[in-house]
Amino acid sequence: MVNETEDTHVPQGPATATQPRISFLRRYGVACLIMLLTLGGFCVLSVGWIVIHGVSARDTPTVLEETMARALRHLAVPTKERRRVNPVPPTTEALAEGMAHWADHCASCHGNDGRGHTEMGRNMYPKAPDMTLQKTQGLSDGELYAIIKNGVRLTGMPAWGSPGSAEDPQTWKLVLFIRHLRNMTPKELDQMKGMNPVSPMAREEQREADDFLNGIDAPEPSTPSHNPSHTGTSRKENP
């Protein structure tokens, strides 16, 4: 008598088929929980740091804060925008226009040479960066354009140029000038001083200095005329 072989294959039921999915969801949930705990811990540390050190703009951002800010700024610019190449040819005229625009709008914070050694630039939080360094020069044309045009939240960098998606040639010329910062000459820096905006107080001080050098005496302050009615003494009333 021949024994029949038994079929030991057990068909998978619905519960067995869903086990991989449950395992994936469990791992995904654990990963999300770890991420939330990490972000929560970072927020607690940040709040603690602020409570201890205050909100003074004179402090220097920590390495972690700077690294995260740069990473978020990079991710905030869409990939398509980051890959854009400056459409403005690097002609002498375009570079001159970018230089003039920089001297009039940007130099008060970044300096004519782009190193940020100005009263405003040094006292911001974060500080105005040295734009001749690789941290700025390593950005793509598209990133520089987006930063100039749209600004950066929670920093001193405002949004320049025309709003909306329209092309802004002036902003692209500023990108050209930023690429030129490493090659600035003393002659160009001296030329830019005449393009920098001058406050009314500084203009008046310069006028007084010029008058002094030219031998023009400053007008003496006028003395108020004597008015007996304002001397504070009593007057005899008319009968």
Pair 181, 211: CB distance under 8 Å: no
Distances (CA, A) of 32 to 41, 75, 111, 117, 152: 14, 20, 44, 43, 28
Task: Kindly state the average pLDDT of the residues 33-50.
Answer: 78
Cα–Cα–Cα angle for 88, 184, 167, rounded to 5 degrees? 20
Task: Kindly state the average pLDDT of the residues 84-100.
Answer: 97
Is 186's pLDDT higher than 50? Answer: yes
Phi, psi angle pair for 231, to nearest 5°: -80, -15
Complete domains list, the chain, with CATH: 84-197 (1.10.760.10)
Would the pTM count as exceeding 0.85? no
More confident residue, 134 or 57: 134
Is 94's pLDDT higher than 90? Answer: yes
More confident residue, 161 or 89: 89
Please give the Cα distance from 237 to 122 (Å, whole number): 67
Q: DSSP 3-state assignment of 80? A: helix
Beta carbons within 8 Å of 62's beta carbon, 6+ residues apart = 49
Phi, psi angle pair for 138, to nearest 5°: -80, -10
Please give the Cα distance from 173 to 179 (Å, whole number): 10
Half-sphere exposure of 95 (CA within 13 A, CB side): 12
More confident residue, 96 or 229: 96
Pair 175, 106: CB distance under 8 Å: no
Task: Kindly state the average pLDDT of the residues 152-171.
Answer: 88
Beta carbons within 8 Å of 60's beta carbon, 6+ residues apart = 127
Please give the Cα distance from 164 to 157 (Å, whole number): 18
More confident residue, 192 or 40: 192
Task: Kindly state the average pLDDT of the residues 224-232.
Answer: 50
pLDDT one-digit tens code per residue, 4-26: 555 555 555 555 557 777 777 78
